[in-house]
Amino acid sequence: MQTYTNKALFLDRDGVINHDPGDYTMKLDEFVILPDVVTTLKKWHDLGYLLIVITNQGGLAKKLYPETEVEAMHQYFQGQCVFHGFEIEAFYFCPHHADFTGKCLCRKPGSLMIEKALHKFNIDPSQSFMVGDRDRDVQCAEYAGVKGIKIDTNSKIPQLQDIL
């Protein structure tokens, strides 16, 4: 029988953590963290949840922006979190797009990114959540045995009492 040591809050990126302009967030100067995201994530962290970002980045396959921009956005966000006393445990992103690279297992609604994190960090899926703004985010979570929560794009991440 599997013994787990961690629980996690998985987060979609665009539209949940940062403002989604409707197409792609292609450059660091377009990466605008939504209000209250950092303070809400700090509360989850303080309750013992690992925080893990799970994001499709199909713009990479379309060659709309380079991977260095994705990494710069993630480093910036991590810096904001560290400034507030916590860290994002990991950032997982899928660089594929079915129209450009064919189908893959990591692109949401596929669950490979979550499955990798579950294994790497010994996370109990039944004690974990995924917050996303698309049906594919919820499907991805459910395929991995994690509870999926759909919110409106560019809205607030639900407060702890709304989920627990």
* Residue range(s) defining the domain that contains residue 90: 7-13+20-153
Whether 121 maps to a domain, the answer reads yes
What are the residue numbers of the active site? 12, 14
Q: What is the pLDDT of residues 17-72, one digit of tens each?
A: 999 999 999 999 999 999 999 999 999 999 999 999 999 999 999 999 999 999 99
- What's the structural domain count of the chain? 1
Q: What is the CATH number of the domain that holds 138?
A: 3.40.50.1000
Cβ(44)–Cβ(3) below 8 Å: no
Whether 46 maps to a domain, the answer reads yes
Whether 1 maps to a domain, the answer reads no
Whether 149 maps to a domain, the answer reads yes
CA 117 to chain centre: 11
Whether 33 maps to a domain, the answer reads yes
Look up the pTM and report it: 0.95
Question: What is the CA angle 13-121-105, rounded to 5?
Answer: 55
Whether 147 maps to a domain, the answer reads yes
Split at pLDDT 50, 70, 90, the class of 146 is very high
Question: What is the CA angle 80-82-85, rounded to 5?
Answer: 120
**Which H helix or E strand runs over 44?**
helix 37-46
Split at pLDDT 50, 70, 90, the class of 1 is low
- Give the residue among 160, 123, 126 at the shortest CA–CA distance from 142: 126
Whether 138 maps to a domain, the answer reads yes
Whether 162 maps to a domain, the answer reads no
